């Protein structure tokens, strides 16, 4: 049984607004309302120790807890119980109280048994990470963890959370069975990020000891740019080879032309959004679609300074992300040109994911 544990995550100072951000390896830093790191030397030292400890853990998506990676320390009630037992023992010795000895040793035995039960509740379980799917920046990413137990008794009160946060998911693992919990975190930047470090703990049965472990998954999550809330209309289409030289841009944001519905038109050509507004069925002009191609390009965003990167590039990528979703929703054929990368026009779920992935990884 481990007598000591790893350095705990840094705690937020009292008062003021506090922002917590999990880095790619799960380290937690604290910032005040101005966004600057706290100048408390103790918190900075604990953050460095925490980062050093996490870097020593080999990343893996499945882990079995043993005595080597499970840690135990008394909780605040545990320290109070120890102080109470010490007072009882001193009083029993001073006044030669036999019943005092009995009560002191009985409570001490219960505390020792509770310590072994608490440590055994977490030791021996196996945790498997269910890799999260791609999400947009600023949205909660939910990942699943399956906890398996090969013991013939139920394990109670096991909690999991992202290291450094207080959002716990608690579960009981049945005998010779498994349980699944959901854990969420919120990435703030686009790109390919490693899943943050996780922690599991239990205080069952008495709450006088805390048994925990730190787990560093190897999985990664792809984060798309956050789509612009109110993007401008889609850019005009470009003439195909041998097509017309001009194109009429629709003020409603529709790329291709529309016409009155004709009997026999496929449902995928019906403009349902416009139909809902006018209560009249209208269809897209298939000949118009054949003459022009919709290309989504950084040059079409109308934002300056995108080549230099920074906030301008992120805003342009956010607009392109919104355009991709809008074009896919309207069932259009669209292509993407992005800093030397060109994705041929198409549509469908696979094409949309390819475009969003390109937007997420640009400049990475």
Cβ atoms of residues 256 and 284 within 8 Å: yes
DSSP 5-52: -PPPPPPPPSSS--EEEE-TT--EEEE-TTSPBP--HHHHHHHHHHHH
Average pLDDT, the chain: 82
pLDDT of residue 287: 53
Tell me the per-residue pLDDT of 75-120, one tens digit each, with 9 for 90 and over: 999 999 999 999 999 999 999 999 999 999 999 999 999 999 999 9
pLDDT of residue 50: 84
Cβ atoms of residues 302 and 232 within 8 Å: yes
Whole-angstrom Cα distance, residue 344 to residue 353?
Answer: 13
Tell me the per-residue pLDDT of 318-328, one tens digit each, with 9 for 90 and over: 999 999 999 88
pLDDT of residue 168: 95
- Does residue 54 have a cis bond before it (omega within 30 degrees)? no
pLDDT of residue 299: 84
Q: What is the pTM of this model?
A: 0.73
pLDDT of residue 278: 72
Cβ atoms of residues 324 and 346 within 8 Å: no
pLDDT of residue 333: 85
Q: What number is the average pLDDT over the span 217-221?
A: 95
185: nearest Cα among 176, 173, 202, 197 = 197
Percentage of the chain modeled with pLDDT above 90 = 56
CA dihedral (185, 189, 190, 192) positive or negative? negative
Whole-angstrom Cα distance, residue 332 to residue 348?
Answer: 9
DSSP 294-327: EEEEGGGG--TTGGG-HHHHHHHHHHHHHHHHHH
Distances (CA, A) of 47 to 10, 73, 154, 244, 308: 6, 20, 35, 62, 33
* More confidently predicted of 315 and 1: 315
Tell me the per-residue pLDDT of 155-188, one tens digit each, with 9 for 90 and over: 999 999 999 899 999 999 999 999 999 999 999 8
Whole-angstrom Cα distance, residue 332 to residue 326?
Answer: 9
């Amino acid at each position: 049984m481990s007598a000591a544990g790893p350095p705990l995550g840094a705690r937020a100072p009292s008062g003021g607004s506090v922002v917590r951000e999990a880095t790619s390896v799960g380290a937690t830093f604290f910032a005040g309302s101005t966004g600057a790191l706290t100048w408390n030397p103790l918190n900075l030292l604990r953050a460095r120790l925490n980062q050093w400890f996490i870097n020593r853990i080999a990343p893996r998506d499945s882990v079995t807890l043993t005595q080597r990676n499970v840690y135990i320390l008394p909780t605040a009630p545990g320290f109070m119980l120890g102080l109470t037992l010490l007072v009882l023992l001193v009083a029993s010795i001073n006044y030669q109280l036999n019943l005092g000895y009995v009560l002191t040793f009985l409570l001490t035995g219960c505390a020792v048994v509770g310590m072994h039960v608490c440590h055994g509740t977490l030791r021996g379980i196996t945790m498997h990470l269910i890799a999260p799917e791609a999400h947009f920046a600023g949205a909660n990413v939910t990942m699943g963890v399956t906890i398996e137990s090969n013991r013939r008794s139920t394990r109670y009160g096991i909690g999991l959370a992202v290291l450094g946060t207080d959002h716990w998911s608690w579960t009981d693992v049945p005998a010779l069975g498994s349980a699944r919990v959901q854990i969420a975190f919120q990435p703030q930047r686009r790109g390919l990020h490693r899943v943050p470090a996780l922690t599991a703990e239990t205080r069952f049965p008495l709450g006088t000891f805390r048994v925990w472990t730190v787990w560093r998954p190897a999985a990664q999550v792809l984060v798309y740019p956050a789509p612009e809330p109110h993007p401008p209309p889609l850019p005009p289409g470009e003439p195909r080879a041998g097509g017309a030289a001009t194109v009429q841009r629709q003020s409603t944001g529709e790329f291709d032309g529309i016409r009155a519905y004709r009997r026999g038109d496929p449902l995928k050509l019906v403009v349902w959004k416009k139909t809902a507004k006018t209560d009249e069925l209208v269809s897209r002009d298939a000949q118009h679609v054949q003459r022009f191609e919709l290309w989504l390009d950084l040059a079409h965003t109308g934002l300056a300074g995108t080549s230099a990167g920074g906030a301008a590039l992120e805003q342009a990528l956010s607009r392109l992300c919104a355009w991709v979703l809008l074009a896919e929703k309207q069932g259009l054929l669209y292509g993407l040109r992005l800093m030397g990368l060109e994705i041929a026009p198409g549509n469908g779920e696979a094409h949309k994911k390819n475009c969003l992935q390109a937007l997420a990884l640009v400049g990475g």
